[in-house]
Amino acid sequence: MSAWLAEAPNRNMLWARLFVDELARGGLREVVIAPGSRSTPLVFAFAECPAITVYSLLDERGAAFFALGLAQAADRPVAILCTSGTAAANFLPAVVEAHYGRIPLLVLTADRSHELRDSGANQTVDQVRLFGTHALWSVDVALPEADPPAVLLRSLRTLAARALAAADGMPKGAVHLNFPFRKPLEPVAEAMSPAAIPLGPENGAPSIRVLRAAQTPSEAQIARLAEVLQAAERPAVVCGPRCPDGDFPAVVRALAERAGAALFADVLSGVRAGDSGLAGYDTVLAGKPVLQAPDAVIQFGAPPTSQALTDYLNAASGPRLTVTADGVWQDPDHRTTDWLWADPTELCRVVTVRLAAREPSVWQTAHRRAAQAARKALAEVRRGHFFDGGAVAAVIEALPEGAQIFAASSLTIRNLDQFAALDRPVRVIGNRGASGIDGTVSSAFGLAAAHPNAPTALITGDLALYHDMNGLIAGHRLGLKLIIVVINNNGGGIFRRLPVAKFDPPFEELFVTPHGLTFEAAAGQFGLVYRRPGDEAELRAALAEALAELRSVLIEVITDSSADLAVRRNVIARSIARAATLD
Amino acid sequence: MSAWLAEAPNRNMLWARLFVDELARGGLREVVIAPGSRSTPLVFAFAECPAITVYSLLDERGAAFFALGLAQAADRPVAILCTSGTAAANFLPAVVEAHYGRIPLLVLTADRSHELRDSGANQTVDQVRLFGTHALWSVDVALPEADPPAVLLRSLRTLAARALAAADGMPKGAVHLNFPFRKPLEPVAEAMSPAAIPLGPENGAPSIRVLRAAQTPSEAQIARLAEVLQAAERPAVVCGPRCPDGDFPAVVRALAERAGAALFADVLSGVRAGDSGLAGYDTVLAGKPVLQAPDAVIQFGAPPTSQALTDYLNAASGPRLTVTADGVWQDPDHRTTDWLWADPTELCRVVTVRLAAREPSVWQTAHRRAAQAARKALAEVRRGHFFDGGAVAAVIEALPEGAQIFAASSLTIRNLDQFAALDRPVRVIGNRGASGIDGTVSSAFGLAAAHPNAPTALITGDLALYHDMNGLIAGHRLGLKLIIVVINNNGGGIFRRLPVAKFDPPFEELFVTPHGLTFEAAAGQFGLVYRRPGDEAELRAALAEALAELRSVLIEVITDSSADLAVRRNVIARSIARAATLD
């Protein structure tokens, strides 16, 4: 690549190539580009760089969410690039999600040069620190020069290395680099007299590395966690969304087992997959059971999706320990008594060894039986009713080992958390940082891009699908396959769970917002196969067919949110009745 | 309304009702609401307020652009409201446009209370100053209290009055009010002990008024403009986008006439309508004519759309005077020598009277003839070719007096500026503040909402339509009628005009971004009538039919951007040939 750098035709291209070269050396593998003119030098540099795959998408909002899905599924930083103006503003929703979801995202915006800023020039807006507190780091990059000093050229390599390190740091998140360019933006030749161009190591290694320490648990942390678990009679281990992957799921299960703890594993935690015994607690706890409250809580990951679990934990007395490697303060009920900032996997491993063996725990057994009762109640009710929760469960059951599932926010993720027993290793991902319903389709296609050979499904409600309908373009445009299951209950069914449901008007019109849309036409416009099953058997058939299909598929399940809520209550009531029988 | 205020059931509703009451007294007439839970108190207060029309839309990005279109067409502030989280982030693109387009927009976001902020609570993001430099004023409103002191309650009225005044100020723009609410969010009763509630005047007048001075031109301003016009041999008067309405168009034409000036009226200026002689200069000047450069330039409104005009003006010597009431610094080429910050209409009026009468001007005549030649060349070429410019001209010709036209950014607005002769009073509006292609459909529906009885058309390219496709929902959902004409050239045809067109790859794939989409399915999904005319006669027929239709209509014109560019060059070449003959 040295010739590529040494022979850059003009200052803009030199800037762009140096920066992109270091990104490639640093491990960046994907960039998502929305078309525009001011970004031309970076577009060319990315297109010319063989190590980086370029995805081209037309709506910046969706493009950024596509990158989020890709970054989450691939577990590495992904870059997004757009031109100047409101294009950059359309990145904000995904940048906010990257911030709270701790997803590494490199946000590259092209900008006008300084003489055009705040001057009334076309498509020129104030992009400096445009993302405010939602970017971990923000840089207004130096304008390219024809005779740059050596330190300025070196700083472009630093910029790339540092941006990657910051985005993939502790915590992870979005980094914003704003690149001003002056015309000509194309790779036309100009006379230049740069100082020595830093070409980087010949073997393609990074010019600058960032080597980090292990977050080894301290003796004080180990002793505190062991002491709390040992002393507790009713310990609870809670794994919220986005727990570490790797060995963590097995290790935290072993810890809970050794400690005689009740284990609550969120559907987004990564800990539930492979153990269908872990599903059902939301149903149990929503029924206000006679299960005693815990007397110690150990919390990993983000706050759990389940409101019933949250309420249950809030009834607990005793210590609450929250374990996190990156020190992000996630404790909305302000109940954490001890923060343990260390590698969660290592901490679990060491403490498990240290804990004394314990008698089989009545407490643990009571929780397991109650969850089992909830799963049986669901199976019973599904035989007689086709409802949103059953549809969600059916989708999960149909997917093979290794599948990826993107869960939309709002009712979908709650249904998954309540009803999805994951008896095989599948990965469930959602935008649970800010829990928006925006960018859903695009994020799901990002998963498909990360692992094109893994079956990938999106489960979504109608509002989330509508919100990012133009994200459907990714299937045909990028040759990606996604199975989309939309549970269409004609509006915001989740509001029926809230107290506001008793106040109509304006409840139906301004909260539920029924729209009457179905999505067959959208499937047609974007070249997706479309199916509308009328019961669970038809849904299973449609899913089997979709798995064998080469194109993306949109499966629309029409439900009634009032009826679904009644069925949900039925499942809860039956699970309480069953649990009582078991006792 | 005093009972409505005095009997507010709880603190949240008292807050919301007081604030909304003062907005209504201050003249707010419309709010656009995207559904959510945290915003419940404000949703109820707006729904209960008879003076304010509530529009409910499902995508916050589109909802905000709908408000922008409505505010521009109605020429008054419009409010938007959403719940907490990325919902608010989706407002940013429209907030940026409001800032640079000087459109009064009241941005209301609901937020979590302070104990939930930055705590990991669901759907909780940092909304304080979320819009950064793009809001004229940002307030994190006081949390509702059960026993508020009188001054706090009065401050809610002040907040409403001041927010309206700031948004509709000098300059106009977006004001952001962030309202934290704690549960319960519904209008359930609680015990309260508020101090005296400020009920406001019984006749419904505002509690607080802001009375502003007239921007009366000073003697120095009058003398300077008169002196420059008197001394110039080749004066040019340029009316860019968003000139004042009311008497300004007539008054500035009279000034140009009296001064013997060449008048350039942008299609978005409001000055071109009603005088078809004003169209054609872009064609003339794009042909690099022998017309001499001006020796004085008087500029009103924002910088003009036409690049050819900009280049031509930049060849001028002599003074350049820029007249603006609001002191916004719009001068991207940094050529203004005199800023006149005063009421443009008054200034024109006074200076016209003061100017000495002048011989008929050869300079003025040369420009008029050249523009006429351009119009004739267009008519000639249209007889043989169906191309984007001709289609745009045909749409304009088909619309009756009083019609509203929303022009999408990118190629559409340039085609309109070049080819649209407005021989009858119609209003052309575009988002020319930041010139994004986002929010186009929604903005156009906003025009229809402002004047439901005026025929309203949107002219757009395919990328802009795709970008805001879900904005199509407004027709059916809100009962609005819009005639949409999409010139579908399968991607970013505007890039063919740029030097980057010579560099393929990556030109076609990453700049033109052909997508192969057509929009019949989208029309079907959202209940629009769909037509696809194949020539100008069919287009005229489709437009006549659309004007008589009760529903919204989508007319798709398929063109070829390479061929269109060639036809455009043909029009330019012929207009030069014709102008030469005229001399």
For the cut 90, the answer to whether the pLDDT of residue B290 exceeds it is: no
Nearest CA in chain A to B477: A515
Q: Do A119 and B334 touch (CB under 8 A)?
A: yes
In this structure, what token pair is assigned to residue A150? 């050596």
Cβ pair B436, B93 in contact under 8 A: yes
A-chain CB neighbours of B33 within 8 Å are: 510
Residue with tokens 């006149």: B340
pLDDT band at B359, cuts 50/70/90? confident
B-chain CB neighbours of A463 within 8 Å are: 58
Q: Do B510 and A303 touch (CB under 8 A)?
A: no
In this structure, what token pair is assigned to residue B247? 């008497």
In this structure, what token pair is assigned to residue B267? 């299609």
Q: Do B89 and A96 touch (CB under 8 A)?
A: yes
Nearest CA in chain A to B511: A35
In this structure, what token pair is assigned to residue B476? 């059916």
Residue with tokens 């036809």: B567
CA of residue B417 relative to chain centroid, distance: 15
3 state SS of B61: helix
- pLDDT tens, position by position, B77-102: 999 999 999 999 999 999 999 999 99
**Measured between CB atoms, which of A58, A119, A133 is closest to B515?**
A58
Q: Cα separations (Å) of B389 from A130, B396, B418, B420, B568? A: 36, 11, 8, 9, 8
B461 CA to chain A: closest CA distance, Å? 13
Regarding beta strands B262-265 and B78-82, do their DSSP bridges make them parallel or antiparallel, or are they unpaired? unpaired
3-state helix, strand, coil in chain B (%, to 5): 45, 15, 40
B578 CA to chain A: closest CA distance, Å? 32
The radius of gyration computed from the CA coordinates of chain A, to the nearest angstrom, equals 26
Nearest CA in chain A to B65: A86
Q: Do A184 and B499 touch (CB under 8 A)?
A: yes
Q: Do B500 and A186 touch (CB under 8 A)?
A: yes
Q: Do B467 and A470 touch (CB under 8 A)?
A: yes
For the cut 70, the answer to whether the pLDDT of residue B452 exceeds it is: yes
For the cut 60, the answer to whether the pLDDT of residue B283 exceeds it is: yes
Q: Cα separations (Å) of B49 from A159, B19, B35, B413? A: 53, 11, 18, 38
* Cα(A230)–Cα(A226) distance, integer angstroms: 6
Hey, what CATH topology would domain B2-180 get?
A: Rossmann fold (3.40.50)
Dihedral of alpha carbons B145, B150, B156, B159, sign: negative
Cβ pair B45, B16 in contact under 8 A: yes
Nearest CA in chain B to A43: B510
* Cα(A185)–Cα(B507) distance, integer angstroms: 13
What is the pLDDT at residue B339?
98
**Measured between CB atoms, which of A43, A435, A510 is closest to B35?**
A510
Residue pairs between chains A and B whose CB atoms are closer than 8 Å: 244
In this structure, what token pair is assigned to residue A320? 């609450």
CA of residue B342 relative to chain centroid, distance: 22
Could you say which DSSP state residue A372 is in?
H
Of A256, A288, A290, the closest CA to residue A275 belongs to: A256
A-chain CB neighbours of B436 within 8 Å are: 85-87, 89, 123
* Cα(A34)–Cα(A19) distance, integer angstroms: 19
- pLDDT tens, position by position, B295-320: 999 999 999 999 999 999 999 989 99
In this structure, what token pair is assigned to residue B496? 């063919």
Cβ pair A194, A149 in contact under 8 A: no
What is the pLDDT at residue B311?
96
Cα dihedral B285, B287, B291, B294 in deg (nearest 10): 30
Q: Which runs of E-coded beta strand occur in B219-337?
A: 235-239, 262-265, 296-300, 320-324
B580 CA to chain A: closest CA distance, Å? 33
What is the pLDDT at residue B582?
59
CATH 3.40.50.300 for domain B219-362: no
In this structure, what token pair is assigned to residue A111? 């900008």
Of A165, A312, A343, A157, the closest CA to residue A244 belongs to: A343
B-chain CB neighbours of A121 within 8 Å are: 303, 332
Could you say which architecture CATH assigns to the domain B388-558?
A: 3-Layer(aba) Sandwich (3.40)
- For the beta sheet containing A174-180, the strands, ordered from the edge strand earlier in sequence to the opposite edge, are A53-56, A30-33, A78-82, A105-111, A174-180, A137-140
Q: Do B466 and A470 touch (CB under 8 A)?
A: yes
**Measured between CB atoms, which of B99, B133, B517 is closest to A525?**
B517
Best B39, B86, B119, B515 member to test A by mutation, with max A CBs in 10 Å, is B86
* Cα(B573)–Cα(B575) distance, integer angstroms: 5
- The pair phi, psi for residue A491, each rounded to 5°, is 125, -165
Element (H, E) at B491: none
**Measured between CB atoms, which of A37, A86, A328 is closest to B434?**
A86
What is the pLDDT at residue A2?
84
3 state SS of A365: helix
> How is A97-163 classified by DSSP, letter by letter?
HHHHHT--EEEEEEE--GGGTTTT-TT----TTTTGGG-SEEEEPPPP-SS--HHHHHHHHHHHHHH
Cβ pair A34, A81 in contact under 8 A: yes
pTM for this model (two decimals): 0.97
For the cut 90, the answer to whether the pLDDT of residue B2 exceeds it is: no
The radius of gyration computed from the CA coordinates of chain B, to the nearest angstrom, equals 26
B-chain CB neighbours of A505 within 8 Å are: 47
Nearest CA in chain A to B183: A499
In this structure, how many other beta carbons lie within 10 angstroms of the beta carbon of residue B183? 14
Q: Peptide bond before B171: cis, by omega within 30 degrees of 0?
A: yes
B582 CA to chain A: closest CA distance, Å? 35
Nearest CA in chain A to B120: A330
Cβ pair A417, A267 in contact under 8 A: yes
Q: Is A359 exposed, middle or buried (0-12, 13-18, 19+ CB in 10 A)?
A: exposed
- pLDDT tens, position by position, B545-561: 999 999 999 999 999 99
User: Domains of chain B: which residue ranges?
Assistant: 2-180, 219-362, 388-558
* Mean pLDDT, rounded, of chain B: 96
For the cut 80, the answer to whether the pLDDT of residue B1 exceeds it is: no
**Measured between CB atoms, which of B123, B463, B470 is closest to A58?**
B463
Q: Do B473 and A517 touch (CB under 8 A)?
A: yes
Q: Do A303 and B120 touch (CB under 8 A)?
A: yes
Nearest CA in chain A to B462: A58
Can you tell me the mean pLDDT for B490-504?
93
Of A146, A118, A109, the closest CA to residue A34 belongs to: A109
> How is A569-583 classified by DSSP, letter by letter?
HHHHHHHHHHHHHH-
Tens digit of pLDDT per residue, chain A (583 long)? 689 999 999 999 999 999 999 999 999 999 999 999 999 999 999 999 999 999 999 999 999 999 999 999 999 999 999 999 999 999 999 999 999 999 999 999 999 999 999 999 999 999 999 999 999 999 999 999 999 999 999 999 999 999 999 999 999 999 999 999 999 999 999 999 988 999 999 999 999 999 999 999 999 999 999 999 999 999 999 999 999 999 999 999 999 999 999 999 999 999 999 888 899 999 999 987 678 999 999 999 999 999 999 999 999 989 999 999 999 999 999 999 999 999 999 999 999 999 998 887 899 999 999 999 999 999 999 999 999 999 999 999 999 999 999 999 999 999 999 999 999 999 999 999 999 999 999 999 999 999 999 999 999 999 999 999 999 999 999 999 999 999 999 999 899 999 999 999 999 999 999 999 999 999 999 999 999 999 999 999 999 999 999 999 999 999 999 999 999 999 999 998 887 775 4
Q: Which runs of E-coded beta strand occur in A330-384?
A: 338-341
Q: Is B404 exposed, middle or buried (0-12, 13-18, 19+ CB in 10 A)?
A: buried
Domains A2-180 and A219-362 share a fold: yes
A-chain CB neighbours of B470 within 8 Å are: 466-467, 469-470
Could you say which DSSP state residue A500 is in?
G
* Cα(A147)–Cα(A197) distance, integer angstroms: 11
Nearest CA in chain B to A527: B517
What is the pLDDT at residue A582?
59
Amino acid at A459: I
Can you tell me the mean pLDDT for B277-291?
88
* Cα(B276)–Cα(B372) distance, integer angstroms: 9
